[in-house]
Structure 1
Amino acid sequence: MTKLPRPGRLSRRRLLAAAAATPLLPAVRTAGAHARTRAATPDPYAALGAEVVNEFSTAWSAYRRHAWGRDELRPLAATGSDFFIQGSTLGLTIVEALDTLYLMRLDAELDSGVRWVKDNLDVAQDARVQVFETIIRLVGGLLSGHLATKDATLLALARELADRLLPAFTKSPTGAPYRYVNLATGSVSGTENYLAEIGTCIAEFGELSRLTGDHKYYNAAKAALRAVYDRRSALDLVGTALNVETGAWTDTTATLDPPVDSFFEYLWDGWTLFADRDLRTWYTTLTTAVFQRLADRRDGRLWFRQAHMATGADAGHTQSELTAYYAGLLAQSGRTADGELYHDSWTDVLAVHRLPPEYIDYRTLAVVNHAYPLRPEYVDSCLFLWMATGKDRYRSRARTMWQRQRQYCKVANGYTVVNDVTTSPMRLGDLTPGYWWSENMKYYYLLFSNAPRFDYESNYLSTEGNVLRGLR
């Protein structure tokens, strides 16, 4: 079993002693010595940082003109669209952008966004929402917005929204949440749920518990993680989907790809944020099995296959771009060499394809799904590998992706998704996803700028890119 390093810069003895006294601790992630010294010399990436802010501002202006208050921008049609509730809005783009606006020091726009949220955000609508997306995007966005601005209303809204989502957890016989909940009535639905949607909530709910002193949110999130871990196979593998009422596996495929991906991420994050030793044990146990049973090393590359959770038999050889996040997680959790090798594998994909396809057959690097929905995961790992190792190659790789995003995804009203990366010219879609404001542009900015409002030595970014630690 691989020995994982202590979280951040706290000694294990100090960390665990503190945890016994205060179960909800601040996170510490170290960026390496380069973060302390790089400001002393001219930074060749500084101009790119300014360019990122300019591109973000241009797209934000288009959003304000054409879709202000709507969930998402459709830049080609110059209109807005709904994400959670058909015919209504939860202001997704505004909430997603709050801490990015703060980091980029776009304070007038931040003030406008906060005013919209305080005046217009209705978290009590009589409508069904997807629990997972609502937690990572809206609860997380409101929390990071509160931490940036210290506006108490944002925290109050995050808490009210979390309370309206809690029936998905508390009404479940297993503790694994139902997939949907009605915000007004608390009625639940969706008995089959996926691991990422079950387990990706302890960062947001734990932070809410830390800020409010009410541990019911953390306890619900941990029970959801336990519901999955306790049902692992004899091989220490978990499947893809559970019936949340019976606890029976409805999909027995073990994979790192969606819809499982961030389940593993939040096990580690729960340990680093809150010093919960159970979560460290669960992460270590499952990660050991992943490397024993799923790791596929071929042609000098590292990939992760799909397998049957009970037998380990082959079940597929595809890989999703979303799984590129795993390179950064491996570096954070002490498997730096494996993280670097996995990122190299995705870099090889970019030597073949101009943008990373949504899915590839990793044996040949052939495209399986032709879309590029402005995914941020490759650049996400650039940021965390750079902070973990200090190696310039990860900023250089991010620069390449930035240039390609500008070349292939930029339109008059900002940036849009690509429906087919294999055509020339690429066939575009018409959407600026909410996560683009919270993730892509934030990661580029933090990589290229010496961001004065970000602590490169001690920080935490959620799976949605929300900064829950490290805002100055």
Structure 2
Amino acid sequence: MLPARAAPVRPRALLPDREKADEIREEFVHAWEGYKRLAWGHDEVLPVSGRHREFFAKGHPVGLSIVEALDTLHLMELDTEVDRCVSWIKSRLRFDVDADFQVFETTIRLVGGLLSGYLATGEKALLDRCADLADRLLPAFTSSRTGMPYRYVNLRTGRVSGATLPLAEVGTHILEFGTLSRLTGDARYERAAKRALRAVVERRSSIDLLASRINVESGQWADRAGIAVDPPADSFYEYLWGAWEMFRDEECRDWFRMFAAALKRHQVEWVDGLLWFKHVDFRTGALIGTRQSALSVAVLPVGGDDELAADYYKSWTAVLDKYDVIPEEIDYRRLEAVGTGNALRPEYANCAFQLYWTTGDPYYRTTAWRYFRNLREYHRVRDGYTVVTDVTARPMTKGDHCPAYVFAENFKWLYLTFSGAPRFDYAHGYLSTEGKVLQGLRRNGAAGDG
């Protein structure tokens, strides 16, 4: 976020560190084998107990981890596994489900995963499934008089629910829907996503800040908290810039720059030489909170302000130095954990990749490698990887859950940082907030399961 200049020109390739890339790939395979063994076809694996769970709706598996993993498997040249996933999707995955699905998560995980899977393989069945799913999501947008989507939609009936929702859930659709519109020639998807963005922008305050929760029926804000880089707002801003990067949408670019300037004016705070972003009243700019989420570290690099992004990355590196694993939430003025778990968060690795990609500074590989080593030390179990419930405890305490996004994000960001992956176009690639490669996948690269 916060572009002080145009986004930098990215290198055509990164010099590979094969030894480290291979170690990362091996750990991804370890996690993947645990999922296949214990939870194949289900959404997520519980690797400690050997059970599984569904993410969207109890009793309605949609193979979420399979869809999330598709383009990671492709980038790592695990082609036999790609074929196995595609076969399952073609034979088993259907979306005629009488259950309420969360629209935001469905978009970034399933729509995005099927899109990147199609871009990786060219399998039209994946694009067909994706369009069918997006059609089932559209009532969340079209049933709303403001154009902002409801939080839930029943995939079979189109019934909507959940009128008050976080900012990110309103505005994190345009990259997936815009890509789908371009691949299918159906403009409805991008049009719906853009209308939702415009509805939010029109409700900004007089100082160009947004609150964090909004009612899509009344169009009224449900709180006063301007939080910007933190969830539940972060990816809203990412996707404004992404619409410019991917589609050259000048209106989204201008909106991004407007909000970035306001954020810089009202929310930057330096504490002991570290950069943070305070929570403020979105109407007045008055301070209301000093907490920061681990998810926020990945927001800044997308808009081209490498200097500010680098400063913010160093702030979170200080947290990594203190705890070895970054806690879910901190009070930045005390640099202390207030949310002590870690749900296998990928955002630090995401930021390391983005900054190494655009600057070439080896510092980002060094710190990304430390993140990976700590990931392996503290999250690895016999049948995969699991969350940590308390990063402040010694020894750290583990939970029993491997989120599906691990297969889409953590290992992918790390692998792209070290591998110089031949199946990724480093000069023109673009990844979504969920780590899906929506631009820059190469179908023809060095192949094999190695």
Matched, 1:199 2:178: no
Amino acid across the alignment from 1:335 = D
- Can you give the 5+ residue segments of structure 1 that lack an aligned partner in the other structure? 9-29
Q: Is the 8 A contact 1:327 1:385 kept in 2?
A: no
Corresponding residue SS for 2:49: coil
Equivalent residue in structure 1 for 2:387, among 368, 392, 417: 417
Corresponding residue SS for 1:193: strand
CA distance in 1, matches of 2:41, 2:390: 29
Matched, 1:241 2:213: yes
CA distance in 2, matches of 1:298, 1:358: 20
Shift, 1:303, TM fit: 0.4
Amino acid across the alignment from 1:260 = A
1:25: which partner in 2? Answer: none
1:324: which partner in 2? Answer: 297
Shift, 1:448, TM fit: 1.3
CA distance in 1, matches of 2:27, 2:282: 45
CA distance in 1, matches of 2:242, 2:370: 28
Q: Is the 8 A contact 1:118 1:154 kept in 2?
A: yes
How is 1:40-439 mapped onto 2 (pairs within 5 angstroms)? 43=16, 45-255=17-227, 256-329=229-302, 333-439=303-409
Corresponding residue SS for 1:144: helix
- Can you give the 5+ residue segments of structure 2 that lack an aligned partner in the other structure? 443-450
Shift, 1:335, TM fit: 1.4
Amino acid across the alignment from 1:291 = K
Shift, 1:31, TM fit: 2.3
How is 1:22-41 mapped onto 2 (pairs within 5 angstroms)? 30-32=9-11, 35-36=12-13, 39=15
Amino acid across the alignment from 2:150 = Y
CA distance in 1, matches of 2:280, 2:30: 45
What are the Cα deviations for residues 386-407 of structure 1, in whole angstroms up to 9, with x where unaligned?
A: 1111111111110000000011
Corresponding residue SS for 1:249: coil
CA distance in 1, matches of 2:418, 2:96: 39
CA distance in 2, matches of 1:148, 1:387: 21
CA distance in 2, matches of 1:402, 1:66: 24
CA distance in 2, matches of 1:303, 1:7: 22
CA distance in 2, matches of 1:334, 1:471: 22
CA distance in 2, matches of 1:133, 1:326: 18
Amino acid across the alignment from 1:160 = D
Amino acid across the alignment from 2:361 = K
CA distance in 2, matches of 1:252, 1:130: 24
Shift, 1:5, TM fit: 4.1
CA distance in 1, matches of 2:10, 2:353: 10
Q: Is the 8 A contact 1:31 1:386 kept in 2?
A: no
Amino acid across the alignment from 1:285 = M
Corresponding residue SS for 1:436: helix
Shift, 1:328, TM fit: 2.1
How large is the Cα RMSD of the aligned pairs?
A: 1.2
Shift, 1:457, TM fit: 1.1
CA distance in 1, matches of 2:109, 2:438: 13
Amino acid across the alignment from 1:348 = A
Mean CA deviation greater in 293-302 or 357-366:
293-302
Shift, 1:311, TM fit: 1.1
Corresponding residue SS for 1:468: strand
Q: Is the 8 A contact 1:232 1:238 kept in 2?
A: yes
2:446: which partner in 1? Answer: none
1:12: which partner in 2? Answer: none
Corresponding residue SS for 2:222: strand
What are the Cα deviations for residues 8-66 of structure 1, in whole angstroms up to 9, with x where unaligned?
A: 6xxxxxxxxxxxxxxxxxxxxx423xx54x54xxx5x3211111111111221121111
CA distance in 2, matches of 1:224, 1:252: 20
Q: Is the 8 A contact 2:3 2:260 kept in 1?
A: no
1:16: which partner in 2? Answer: none
Corresponding residue SS for 1:297: strand
CA distance in 1, matches of 2:30, 2:230: 33
CA distance in 1, matches of 2:176, 2:349: 22
Shift, 1:7, TM fit: 5.6
Corresponding residue SS for 1:251: coil
CA distance in 2, matches of 1:135, 1:334: 25
Shift, 1:425, TM fit: 1.2
Amino acid across the alignment from 1:219 = R
CA distance in 1, matches of 2:434, 2:153: 21
Amino acid across the alignment from 2:266 = R
CA distance in 1, matches of 2:132, 2:299: 32
CA distance in 1, matches of 2:10, 2:360: 7
Q: Is the 8 A contact 1:127 1:183 kept in 2?
A: yes
1:444: which partner in 2? Answer: 414
2:445: which partner in 1? Answer: none
Number of matched pairs: 440
CA distance in 1, matches of 2:189, 2:109: 16
CA distance in 1, matches of 2:420, 2:209: 41
Corresponding residue SS for 2:299: helix
What are the Cα deviations for residues 172-208 of structure 1, in whole angstroms up to 9, with x where unaligned?
A: 0111100000000000000101100000000000000
